[in-house]
Structure formats: structure tokens, C-alpha cells
Chains A and B, each alone.
Chain A
């Protein structure tokens, strides 16, 4: 199959309360790989407490659907953290020592 040019591009920077939570979000989201890497690609990384999402697609329409579905999942992860990260304080303390 001919290689399609990935002309459309969007980068998102989403801040999290801590580097630990940003890393968890990145690891959770990165499990689901691109279904069609020849037309759409998503790169996930972190920078301190910032989650970086980088999208490259062949069409604007694909970019919209991909960004949309990724943001739905980010929202779900953030809400899950808000609801259940009860052990935040003590864990942050230990993590800091390790780092």
C-alpha cells in the first residue's frame, strides 16, 4: 500500500497534579495502539507533570475523531484519578525518595 502523507498535525499539553499521575495517564493510554498507523498516529509522552499527546493524520476529519476519542479517554482517566487516588499523599512521599 502506498504511503499516505500525514499532513495534519496537532499537539496537546495536558497538565496533571503531579508527574506521577501524568506518567500513569501516559502508560494507561499508550496501551491502545493505532489501528491504522499508515493514516493516523498518536505519540504519547510526559514532561514533568504534563501529558503530551501528539497527533498526525492524513485527513482533517481523522484528526478530529482521533483527538476527540483520545480526549474522552483522558477525561475518563482524570475522573478515575479524582475519584480513587486516595493514597496520593503517602505515595508521593515515597516516590520522591526513590526519584
Chain B
């Protein structure tokens, strides 16, 4: 069984092809293709929905062609077409869904609308082999601490305002760091040279976290701190990372204690930050546990994760009828019925 996955909820456009060999139990999973094209706005700017949608429309057909060539398959061999239904930016989502629908009708395939967050979780589980982890989903648009219980991925804690990745990305704009390959990546590299810790607001409210205060503080004070010569840009990147990651480690640890799990799975674009993985690992090893993470191929938004989550749902008999293939900017992780897990 082969699934085509199309993802374009933010500035990454990803196409993936995954194969599940159903003759073995559990099915043997093979990644046939995983290609991506990223929209990079100029330094100091974020990606706007209209420009991002145009980027996706301009590159999606070439990317699908590349994916089919990588996998060395023809459309006939595809069983199901999976696309991101939400959450994400409306214009980019709808552009990608429009192509998914057109292909499905031309090729006479079923469609499966996938929740982007569930895509991240299922890809992380597949790649790392984590059994029943607490999931930390951290990206430019989402920050959630998740655990599975009774057919749902339940949200234990989340960001009350902006996502952690958004906080990092927007600070990168203050420093005019390039958006290529990713603003957060450039912060991570700069932070390695930082030595002095600036005291920043630390906001954990129960299981939830807040990043808008720390962003406002550092945005407001960065010019003066840098002008004083006391702190460098590297020190500020270092301080911001240490502070926001500590907040994430704290809430993740509380979720682990609550459900009695010793595994942590980190997914989402911020999940490939090595410093976050390191801090999480320190916490987990103190509890006799383990951290599972993936590299940028699977952490950062991609098409293969949509194909993976979609094919799992499809195997349980789930499809999305054409008239319900509209996209939605708001689609919570716990809305999805996880029929494929015990």
C-alpha cells in the first residue's frame, strides 16, 4: 500500500511517498520519497500567507514530479492521497488541498485529510520506535505537551499565546538573522558562542507556558543591552534559548510524572534544536528515562509525515469524502479519533 502526502500548512512545502508492506505484521514501512521546498522571506521579515501560498502554487507540481521520480513509481501504484487539513495558514493549506483534490479525481484515488500535529506525532513514533511517549510538539506555530490516552492524543499543556518557534523566529528578525535555512537554526548556532545569561521572564502557568512576555522583554531591551557592550548577540540568543527551553522541560517533566511515562518524543521544527534535545535528555536521564528525537528530514514539516498519518487512518477504513476536504486554520490535536492505536 502506497500513500502520497502533501504538506503546506506553513512556509515549507513537502511531498512524500510512503509504502506499507501489509504482508508483514506490523507492516514494513519504506520511505520512497521525501522532498521539500522552503519559502524564505528576506532577513528581518516573516512569511506572509499570500506570498507563501504563491510559493506553494509555483513549486508544488515540480515537487510532486520529483517525488514520483525519486520513488520510481507511477500514479497508478498510489493507493491514497493524504493532505494537511489543518491547522495552519488558510491560503497555503487550500492551495495544496486543491492540487490533492485534482489529483485524486483525475487518478481516481481516495483522499485522507490529516491533522498536521498528528502527522508529526506519527512520523516521530515511526522513525524512533518510541512506544508510548510523552510528546513535546514544538514548532513555529505550535507548542503542545501531548500524551496518548483512549484513542486521542490529549493535550496536557500548551502555549497560551505565541508558539516557542514564533518567539525564536521573531527574535531572529530583531537581530536581522537570515531566514535560510531557518531563523531558529541561526539562533541556535549563534547561541553556542554565548556565555552570559540575561535574566528573562520565565512564564509557566500550571501545565501551560507563555512566550509573548519573554519576547516583548527581549525585543524591548535588546538594543540597550547590546549598546552597553556588556552582552553580545550570542549572549542574548543563548539566554533566550536557555529560558524558553527550561520552561518546556519543566512542563514535559510534569506530564511524565503525571502519566508515569519514561519516554519523551520531541517533534516539530524546534525539535531539531540540539540544545533542546540535550536539556530534555538531562531531565529524562535523571528520571531513568529516554529522549527520542528525529533529524531535520522528519522534524521539520514534510510530506512523508502526512502520508504516514494518512495511511494509518486509511488502513482503518477512514477516508475524507470530497465535499469535506476543505481546510481549517484551527484543528486541535485532540479532535482526531486515533482508530489505529490500542
Using CB atoms and an 8 Å cutoff, list the residues of chain A in contact with chain B: 24-25, 27-29, 31-33, 72-73, 75-77, 79-81, 83-87
Q: Please, how many angstroms separate the alpha-carbon atoms of A80 and B95 in the complex?
A: 11
Chain A residues contacting B98 (CB-CB under 8 Å) are 28-29, 73, 76-77, 80
Chain A residues contacting B99 (CB-CB under 8 Å) are 76, 80
Supposing A32-B94, A72-B57, A80-B99 touch, asked if A86 and B75 sit within 8 A by C-beta, the answer is yes
* B105 at interface, CB cutoff 8 A: yes
Q: Please, how many angstroms separate the alpha-carbon atoms of A84 and B99 in the complex?
A: 10
* B325 at interface, CB cutoff 8 A: yes
Distance to closest chain B CB from A75 (angstroms):
8
Q: Which chain B residues in 266-322 approach chain A with CB under 8 Å?
A: 322
Supposing A31-B101, A73-B98 touch, asked if A84 and B75 sit within 8 A by C-beta, the answer is yes
B61 to A79, Cβ gap below 8 A? yes
Report how many residues on chain B are interfacial, defined by Cβ distance under 8 Å. Answer: 22
Instruction: Give the secondary structure class of A's interface.
Output: helix
* B217 at interface, CB cutoff 8 A: no
Chain B residues contacting A32 (CB-CB under 8 Å) are 94, 326
| A–B Cβ pairs within 8 angstroms, 5 of them | A73-B95, A76-B95, A80-B106, A84-B103, A87-B76
B81-97 vs A: 1/0 string, CB under 8 Å? 00000000000001101
* B72 at interface, CB cutoff 8 A: no
B65 to A83, Cβ gap below 8 A? yes
Supposing A24-B106, A77-B98, A77-B102 touch, asked if A84 and B64 sit within 8 A by C-beta, the answer is yes
A85 to B94, Cβ gap below 8 A? no
* B335 at interface, CB cutoff 8 A: no
Distance to closest chain A CB from B329 (angstroms):
11
Distance to closest chain B CB from A86 (angstroms):
7
The residue that A31 contacts in the complex, of B76, B107, B322, with Cβ under 8 A, is: B322
Q: Which chain B residue has the least Cβ–Cβ distance from A82? A: B61
The residue that B61 contacts in the complex, of A29, A31, A73, A80, with Cβ under 8 A, is: A80
Q: Which chain A residue has the least Cβ–Cβ distance from B61? A: A83
Q: Please, how many angstroms separate the alpha-carbon atoms of A80 and B103 in the complex?
A: 7
Chain A residues contacting B326 (CB-CB under 8 Å) are 31-33
Chain A residues contacting B64 (CB-CB under 8 Å) are 83-84
